[in-house]
Copies of this chain bind each other. A is one copy, B any other.
């Protein structure tokens, strides 16, 4: 019933309703696969301007898709009926950098001064890569993409600072070149890779030991290809030890109505 051919409002609305009503619990990968998904960061209004400055200064890891009004749980630019308090399958709530809860809705935590940020997520460009016939190892294995803290510092803004976090996909050289071409056309979801082939050059000591997500094998005829990752924003927010921070639970993303431009449609 769902599938690549169905994109946009109908699929987004249907899947969000399922989640809201408790009919779907779990990672959102593959849900309404033609639609853009997003990372979520919610924090108090007093910190929102600094966080937005951080995102603007670091657009590759932190592409801003939407910012809410203070206290308003809606993000109408991403879905007319979207309610950020109920429409993700699971959240994480942090106080001063400590995880205090992993709720399935935010009723108990909502405040009139909270601002929601939706940031682009690599699920979108992965759809375009897969549609182009490129194998993505973590999808083949059914695991989370491996992520690494690099030695590349982000531009700081107010209390927000930290290293660039990257996700890694092993690709054959010709596929790596094709992947640069395809993902260059998706600047709102991390764009082109930031690095490939030489992990140590960006401070990654052991490719088999990701800092987040799951390790995947890199075969002898493949290069590790690294993209800026939305986890960068979460890490910076976490390390700022804010009085209150709410994020999506890992791989439990904001599901939008925005259609992903297909690799074929986008190809020039």
Interface residues of A (CB under 8 A from B): 172-174, 176-177, 180-181, 184, 192-198, 201, 221, 223
CB–CB B196/A177 < 8 A: yes
CB–CB B223/A194 < 8 A: no
Count of chain copies:
2
Q: Which of B173, B195, B221 contacts A173 (CB 8 A)?
A: B195
CB–CB B201/A173 < 8 A: yes
Residues in B neighbouring A176, C-beta threshold 8 A = 196-197
Bound-complex Cα distance A172 to B202 (A) = 12
CB–CB A198/B221 < 8 A: yes
Bound-complex Cα distance A173 to B181 (A) = 15
Residues in B neighbouring A173, C-beta threshold 8 A = 195-198, 201
CB–CB B193/A177 < 8 A: yes
CB–CB B177/A201 < 8 A: no
CB–CB A223/B197 < 8 A: yes
Residues in B neighbouring A180, C-beta threshold 8 A = 177, 180-181, 192
CB–CB B197/A174 < 8 A: no
Bound-complex Cα distance A174 to B201 (A) = 11
18 CB < 8 A contacts A-B: A172-B201, A173-B195, A173-B198, A173-B201, A176-B196, A176-B197, A177-B180, A177-B192, A177-B194, A177-B196, A180-B180, A180-B181, A180-B192, A181-B181, A181-B184, A196-B197, A196-B223, A197-B197
CB–CB B201/A221 < 8 A: yes
Residues in B neighbouring A172, C-beta threshold 8 A = 201
Bound-complex Cα distance A177 to B173 (A) = 12
Q: Which of B192, B196, B223 contacts A181 (CB 8 A)?
A: B192
Instruction: Please give me the residue from chain B that is nearest to A185 by CB atom.
Output: B268
Bound-complex Cα distance A173 to B192 (A) = 12
Task: A181-B181, A184-B184, A198-B223 given; name 9 further pairs at CB < 8 Å.
Answer: A172-B201, A173-B197, A174-B194, A176-B196, A177-B196, A180-B180, A181-B184, A197-B223, A201-B221
